[in-house]
Amino acid sequence: MSALDESKAAEVTLPEAAQAIHGQAVRSLFQLFESICEGAVIVDRDARIVWISDKYLALLGLAGAHQALGKPVEAVIPASLMRRVVETGEPILLDIMEFGQQSFVVTRLPLRGEDGRVTGAVGFVLYDRPQYLKPLVSKFTRLQRDLARAQRKLAEHQRPRYSFSSFVGSSAASLEVKRQARRAAQLDTPVLIQGEIGTGKELLAHAIHAASTRSDGPFVSVSLAGVPEPVLEQELFGAASGNEGAPRRLWEGKLRRAQGGSLFLDEVGDIPLALQPKLLRLLQEQAFELPGSHEMVQVDVRVIASTSRDLRRLVQEGRLRADLYYRLNVLRIDVPPLRERLEDLEALCEVLLERIAERSGLPQRELARDALALLRAYSWPGNVRELGNVLEQVTLLTESRRLGADDFAHALPAAPLAYGRGDGGGNPARPRRLAEAVAESQREAIREALIAAKGNKVMAARLLGISRASLYEKMATLGLTSRPSAGHVKFFRHRNA
C-alpha cells in the first residue's frame, strides 16, 4: 500500500476510533459514577423513570425496580428536580435534596441525542449524608453571611439618618422651614435648600427623602465642594473603559446607586461649568451619557440640592448656567441661621448635650442661666454645627455637671459677640470683649435668681447651682449689691465696677 493510500485510510479510521473512544469514555464514566455514588437514576423526556440503581432503591426503601420504573419521577422521589432539567436542558450540578428525614447531595445532568435535543436526564446521589460537604458548605455559608453583612451596611449607609423631628426648634422660623420641607416631601420635583454652613441643610434633605414616596429607595449623598472635575464626573455618572472589541469595565456612579431614590448634591454651587450641561440634562430628561461611551443611561432619581452660596450672583458672574439655576430652583427652602432663631437655642443645647453624653459616655451636662445668656449673646457664624462643637469641647474639658459662663470663656472667640445689636440692618455692632459678655451674662443670671428668690441669697445661690459664698464672691466681683424694698429687689452697681 502506498503512502497516499495509508493516509486516506487514516482519515477514514481516525473519526471512527475517536467515536469508539468517546463511547468507551461515556460508558466508563457512567459506570464509575454509578459505582462510587450512593445512587443513580435515569428519566426519559417525559421525566418518567427508565432506570434506577439498586443503591438508590435501598436509599429510598423500595423493594425492587418494579416500584419505580415507568412512573413519573416525582411519584417516587417527591423532591426531585429532574423534570426541570428535562424541560430546561440546564444541569443542576450541586444540590441538597430532602427525602423524608434524609438529606441527599445530588447532581443532575441532561441527556441529549445526536440531534442535540434533550432525550432525558440522569441524576446521581453523591452523598447520602451532607456532612461530607460540611467544610465546603461552611465556607459557602460564611461567604454568604459576609455578603449579607456588607449589603446591610451599604443599605444602612444609604438609608436616611434623620427625620423632621431631628430638626430641633419650635420658633416661628423653624416651624416654617419644617412646613415647607414637609410640603416638598409630598412632591417629586427637585428641591433647593439654601442656608449658611452648619444650619442643617443635609439633615432636612434626609428628612424630605424619609417622608417621601421614595423612602424605600436609597439616599445617596455627593459633595461637590472642592472635587476635581474628572473625579467628580466619574463619582456622579460612573465610567466605561476598554478598547474597541475588548470587554468594557464599568464603574457605577452615584446616580445609578440612587436609582429609585434620592440624590443629594451638597454645595451644588461648586459644580464645574463642564459638568453643568450633564446635570441639566439629568434634571430635564432623567438620563445621562455614560463617560467613556455614547451610551445613554436612563435613571429614576429625585435630586435634592443644597448650597451656602448666592446662586443668583454665580449666574450673574457666569459661573452657573441660568437654565440650570431655574431647574434647580423649582422648590426652594431657605434655612435661617441660628442667630435668627435664638428661641431654639436652649432646646438645641439640651439635645446636643444628650448626644454628646451618649457618644462620649460622660455624664449628662446642664447649662446654668449665665451660660445660656452668654450663648445667646454670641452670633454663631458656624450655626448649629459650631454650637455642637463648642458644647462638646466644654463638656470634654469640664468636670462640672452644670456648665456656667466661665466654662465657655476659652471656647468662644470675642469678635462675633453681640451680633445684630447695632443698627438693626443685620450687621454686627461693635463687638464686646469676651470678659465683658461673660460678666454681663452673669449679672443677668444673678439678678433673675435674686428676683425669683425675693432677695434671699441662700435660695438664689441654690437656683444658680452655686454656694452662697460663691454668690457673694461673684456679686462683689461684678460690683452688684441688692437691697429689698417693698417686696421688690433693687440692684446697685459700684462705681468702680
Q: CATH number, domain at 78? A: 3.30.450.20
Query: Residue 323 is part of a domain; what is its CATH number?
Result: 3.40.50.300
Can you tell me the distance from the alpha carbon of 350 to that of 367, in angstroms, rounded to the nearest whole number? 8
Bridge partners, residue 307, by sequence: 194
- Side-chain half-sphere CA neighbours of 115 within 13 A: 3
Contact present, 249 and 240 (Cβ < 8 Å) = yes
Indicate whether 378 and 298 sit together in one domain.
no
Indicate whether 360 and 454 sit together in one domain.
yes
pLDDT for position 171? 92
The gap between the terminal CA atoms of the chain, to the nearest Å, is 133
For residue 181, being part of any structural domain is answered with: yes
The pLDDT mean for the chain works out to 81
pLDDT for position 319? 94
Can you tell me the distance from the alpha carbon of 388 to that of 402, in angstroms, rounded to the nearest whole number? 17
Q: What are phi and psi of 215, to 5 degrees?
A: -60, -25
**CA torsion, points 6, 7, 9, 12, in degrees to nearest 10?**
170
Indicate whether 395 and 318 sit together in one domain.
no
Indicate whether 288 and 363 sit together in one domain.
no
Q: What are phi and psi of 37, to 5 degrees?
A: -85, 175
For residue 245, being part of any structural domain is answered with: no
Indicate whether 350 and 406 sit together in one domain.
yes
For residue 7, being part of any structural domain is answered with: no
> Looking at 288, 304, 336, which one is the last position of a domain?
336
Q: Do the bridges between strand 302-307 and strand 262-266 make them parallel or antiparallel, or are there none, so unpaired?
A: parallel
Which of 71, 11, 65 shows the shortest CA–CA distance to 40? 65
For residue 150, being part of any structural domain is answered with: no
For residue 446, being part of any structural domain is answered with: yes
Indicate whether 181 and 317 sit together in one domain.
yes
* Rg of the chain taking only CA atoms, in angstroms: 39
Indicate whether 310 and 348 sit together in one domain.
no
For 123, residues 6+ apart whose C-beta sits below 8 A from its C-beta are 40, 41, 42, 43, 80, 82, 85, 106, 107, 108, 109
Indicate whether 328 and 182 sit together in one domain.
yes
For 229, residues 6+ apart whose C-beta sits below 8 A from its C-beta are 272, 274, 275
Spell out, as residue ranges, where the chain has pLDDT lower than 50.
1-4, 6-12, 158, 243-247, 415-431, 484-487, 491-492, 494-497
pLDDT for position 118? 92
Can you tell me the distance from the alpha carbon of 232 to that of 328, in angstroms, rounded to the nearest whole number? 19
Indicate whether 317 and 186 sit together in one domain.
yes
> Looking at 285, 312, 336, which one is the last position of a domain?
336
- Other CB atoms within a 10 A radius of the CB of residue 117 amount to 11
Q: Which three cell numbers stand for residue 298?
A: 436612563
Which one-letter DSSP state was computed for residue 295?
Answer: -
Indicate whether 176 and 318 sit together in one domain.
yes
Which of 288, 285, 284, 330 shows the shortest CA–CA distance to 305? 330
For residue 418, being part of any structural domain is answered with: yes
pLDDT for position 450? 82
User: Which range of residues forms the domain containing residue 287?
Assistant: 164-240+250-336
pLDDT for position 150? 67
Residue 345 is inside which H or E element, if any?
helix 345-360
> Looking at 301, 316, 336, which one is the last position of a domain?
336
Can you tell me the distance from the alpha carbon of 200 to that of 335, in angstroms, rounded to the nearest whole number? 8
For residue 320, being part of any structural domain is answered with: yes
Indicate whether 314 and 359 sit together in one domain.
no
**CA torsion, points 154, 160, 161, 164, in degrees to nearest 10?**
180
Can you tell me the distance from the alpha carbon of 489 to that of 396, in angstroms, rounded to the nearest whole number? 38
For residue 203, being part of any structural domain is answered with: yes
Indicate whether 80 and 216 sit together in one domain.
no
Contact present, 53 and 41 (Cβ < 8 Å) = yes
Q: Give the burial class of 104: count Cβ atoms within 10 A of its Cβ; 0-12 exposed, 13-18 middle, 19 or more buried.
A: buried
Number of domains in the chain: 3
pLDDT for position 245? 46
- Does residue 454 come out as left (phi exceeding 0), alpha (psi in the -120 to 50 range) or beta? left
Can you tell me the distance from the alpha carbon of 305 to that of 120, in angstroms, rounded to the nearest whole number? 60
Look up the pTM and report it.
Answer: 0.57
